[in-house]
Amino acid sequence: MKTRITEMFGIEHPIIQGGMHFVGFAEMAAAVSNAGGLGIITGLTQKSPALLANEIARCRDMTDKPFGVNLTFLPTVASPDYPGYVRAIIEGGVKAVETAGNNPVAVLPFFKDAGIKVIHKCTSVRHSLKAQAIGCDAVSVDGFECGGHPGEDDVPNFILLPRAAEELDIPFVASGGMADGRSLVAALALGAEGMNMGTRFIATKEAPVHDNVKRALVAASELDTRLVMRSLRNTERVLNNAAVERLIEKERRLGPDLKFEDIIEEVAGVYPRIMLEGDMDIGAWSCGMVAGLIKDIPTCKELIDRIMAEAEAIIGQRLAGFAKAA
Ligand SMILES: Cc1cc2nc3c(=O)[nH]c(=O)nc-3n(C[C@H](O)[C@H](O)[C@H](O)COP(=O)(O)O)c2cc1C
């Protein structure tokens, strides 16, 4: 399939794997890229620019296809060494960057000079327009369904994507709630030129996470996610578990007085224990409502091939059949 997104990133299928903390290691990115999508290494999971450089080199050993790096701009006081991470990306010869979080305007000139395409992930039309105005090449439009940080507007993709299509000139992918060929066709129908998946890619054979995480996704339904940290204006969609219930109880009790320190035990530094050790109840971890559509643990190639075959069948048979009958 050919879209402005496949052309921009030099990939076979219009499918991107979004950056995911403690999931987006070289193994994940290489598996998605080898299957014809765009795999993304999560920059900040590597604790220093030198470690990111090493992760990029490891990924290059595993694939000769294009892959990208996610750089998330966190609302934290102690800022990571962003200039160092930017250098590691450029010197590593990476040609695609997914930015997320705060506005990436400060790093764009460096990426542009290095010929790197930047896709910024945002959760609203106004942020998408801002990304276009500052010179991003594409946007990933992340609806309310998404795993991770859906923003504070709560607009689901059935509205957000066509609104983005009405306003944007640069191409965009649909992100949040995407799982299969139906998702891809719907995304294309609503104006996107591809899709970005997070949660679905965790339940694959190559995802370098503990089997408990994959099993939890297969077991979960679309009713099993919760929104946390709303009062801190840092809303996150996570899979429900004992720690999340504790966190929500604190939110209920403290209301607007809740501070980050009150929930630090449930949210800070929990990812390695969940993703690598499979300690599933230790804290809150991002997960999309799309968990309800995840029923198996295929390889990335099986998943992507299945998505493309299903999408082509829907377009060529089901939809073409309706059009003919009309
Ligand atoms: C476990 C997990 C960790 C994530 N970590 C990040 C991250 O570090 N940076 C980022 O930009 N997005 C992160 N995301 C968001 C994904 O890149 C993607 O936008 C989102 O998962 C799309 O929604 P979906 O899960 O419904 O596919 C994360 C998502 C998950 C599920």
Find the 43 Cα to ligand 1 centroid distance in Å. Answer: 13
173 CB under 6 A from ligand 1? no
75-84, 195-204, 306-315, range with the lowest pLDDT: 75-84
28: pLDDT strictly greater than 80 = yes
CA of 19 to the centre of ligand 1 (A): 6
Question: What is the β-pairing status of strands 15-17 and 67-73?
Answer: unpaired
Judge whether 317 and 269 are in contact, CB under 8 Å. no
Whether ligand 1 lies within 6 angstroms of the CB of 237 is answered as no
For residue 47, the one-letter residue type is K
- How far apart are alpha carbons 248 and 229 in whole angstroms? 9
- Per-residue pLDDT at 280 exceeds 80: yes
Q: What are phi and psi of 157, to 5 degrees?
A: -65, -25
**Average predicted confidence (pLDDT) for the chain:** 97
Classify 259 in phi/psi space as left (phi over 0), alpha (psi -120 to 50) or beta: beta
Nearest atom of ligand 1 to the alpha carbon of 140? 19
Residue 315: which pLDDT band, with cuts at 50, 70 and 90? very high
CB crowding 169-187: b at 16 or more within 10 Å, else e: ebbbbbbbbbbbbebbbbb
How would residue 77 be classed by pLDDT, with cut points 50, 70 and 90?
low
Q: Is-contact 75 55, C-beta < 8 A?
A: no
Cα separation, 191 vs 169, in Å, equals: 11
> Within 226-326, where are the H helices?
242-254, 264-267, 271, 300-313, 320-325
Could you tell me the distance, in angstroms and rounded to a whole number, from the CA of residue 88 to the centre of ligand 1?
22
Question: Using N-to-C axis directions, what is the helix angle for 26-34 and 49-62, rounded to 10°?
Answer: 30
First to last CA, the chain: 26
23 Cβ closer than 6 Å to some ligand 1 atom: yes
Lowest mean pLDDT among 78-82, 132-136, 255-259: 78-82
Structure tokens at 302: 């099986």
Q: Is the pLDDT of residue 136 over 70?
A: yes
Q: Give me Rg for the CA atoms of the chain.
A: 19
For residue 171, what pLDDT is reported? 98
Collapsed DSSP state (helix, strand, coil) of residue 167:
helix
- Residue 299's DSSP bridge partners are none
Using the mean position of ligand 1's atoms as its centre, give its distance from the Cα of residue 321 in Å: 36
| pLDDT, average across residues 213-220 | 98
Which pLDDT does position 146 carry in this prediction?
A: 98
pLDDT of residue 78: 74
- Of all protein residues, the one whose alpha carbon is nearest to atom 30 of ligand 1 is 286
At residue 14, the pLDDT reads 98
Residue 145 near ligand 1, beta carbon < 6 Å: yes
For residue 16, give both structure tokens: 């991107």
pLDDT band at 74, cuts 50/70/90?
Answer: confident
Residues 6+ apart with CB under 8 A from 28: 17, 20, 39, 41, 201, 206, 207, 208
pLDDT at 317 (0 to 100): 96
pTM of the model: 0.98
DSSP strand E in the chain: where? 15-17, 39-42, 67-73, 96-101, 117-122, 138-142, 172-175, 195-197, 225-228, 236-239
Relative to the CA of 45, which ligand 1 atom is closest? 8
Burial class (CB in 10 A: 0-12, 13-18, 19+), 152: exposed
Q: Whose CA is nearest to atom 6 of ligand 1?
A: 20
**Looking at this protein, which amino acid is placed at residue 294?**
I
% of the chain exceeding 90 in pLDDT: 97
Burial profile 274-300: b = 16 or more Cβ within 10 angstroms, e = fewer:
bbeebebebbbbbbbbbbbbbeebbeb
Q: How sure is the predictor about 13, in pLDDT bands with cuts at 50, 70 and 90?
A: very high
163 lines ligand 1 (CB under 6 A): no
Give the least confident one: 76-90, 110-124, 276-290, 301-315: 76-90
State whether the beta carbon of 96 lies less than 6 angstroms from ligand 1.
no
pLDDT in tens, 40-65: 999 999 999 999 999 999 999 999 99
Say whether pLDDT at 326 is over 90.
Answer: no
Dihedral sign, CA of 35, 238, 184, 97?
negative
